[in-house]
């Protein structure tokens, strides 16, 4: 969770500095979620990956990463 928080902050900074547009950032987040959703490994590893994917999807749905008021 801490790593995702740091990544979200970095994505906000990249958007604020007009280095990456919202569309690209949303693509990064969606790709990251998909990668975690499709991860393979032990049952414990898969559970951790699915939890990471769920957090990323919540970031996307909440609009906090880029689309802020």
The token duo for 28 is: 């990064």
Asked if 20 and 54 touch (Cβ cutoff 8 Å), the reply is no
Please give the Cα distance from 19 to 14 (Å, whole number): 5
pTM above 0.85, yes or no: no
Q: pLDDT per residue over 4-62, tens digit each?
A: 889 888 998 999 999 999 999 999 999 999 999 999 999 999 999 999 999 999 988 88
Q: Is the pLDDT of residue 64 over 60?
A: no
- CA dihedral for 51, 52, 57, 60, sign (positive or negative): positive
């Amino acid at each position: 969770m801490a790593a995702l928080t740091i990544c979200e902050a970095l994505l906000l900074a990249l958007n604020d500095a007009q280095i990456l547009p919202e569309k690209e950032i949303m693509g990064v987040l969606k790709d990251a979620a998909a990668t975690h959703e499709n991860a393979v490994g032990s049952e414990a590893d898969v559970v951790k990956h699915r939890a990471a994917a769920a957090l990323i999807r919540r970031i996307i749905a909440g609009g906090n990463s880029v689309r802020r008021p």
